[in-house]
Amino acid sequence: MPRRSRPKGSRKLPTLTCSGGVTNVKRSVALLIALVFGIGAVGIAVAQTPTPAPAPATTPAPTQKPADAKPKPAEMKMKAKNAQGTVKSASPDSVVVAGKEKAKDTEWTFAVDSKTAIRKSGKAITAADLKPGDQVQVRYMDHEGKATAVAIQVKPGANAAKSAAPPAEKK
């Protein structure tokens, strides 16, 4: 085989290698990849450690809320509860209902305010219009330990049936 000659003035550049015949570029790429994997492993470890609780505030809390403060959303969205039974007494601002809760006789006192909807036969009435013996279903909310009626529905004919004379027996 004929040997190729180089043009005059050109010289052969030596290949830069480290020990073992690995080029410096390959070694640099391998080092860079190892560094990226190392940083990724540290990042995952840091992400899994729990964060410490924030230190308590050093400023004292206000002792009393202002009267016009808006209620928090959690307070506004309280779950309504239901009760049904017989009216024992009623006044313009409260209604006492006797009924059963979990198979036990119970008596509830509900506060009535201007927002309470009271209906009898589809018509709006007031709490003072309720009579002892009326069968009612009450939807209420507990607010600061006080049961406030949201809606009271009088069951039709319940009181009328009790006050009417029983039918004569057949002989």
Q: Which of 62-66, 87-91, 146-150 has the lowest mean pLDDT?
A: 62-66
Token pair in block for residue 5: 């000659």
Higher pLDDT, 67 or 117: 117
Question: Is pLDDT above 60 for 167?
Answer: no
Higher pLDDT, 91 or 59: 91
Question: Is pLDDT above 90 for 85?
Answer: yes
- What pLDDT does 163 receive? 47
Q: How many CB atoms lie within 10 A of CB 46?
A: 8
Share of the chain above pLDDT 90, in %: 22
Q: What is the mean pLDDT of residues 58-65?
A: 58
**pLDDT tens digits along 9-33:** 666 666 666 566 667 888 889 999 9
- What pLDDT does 106 receive? 87
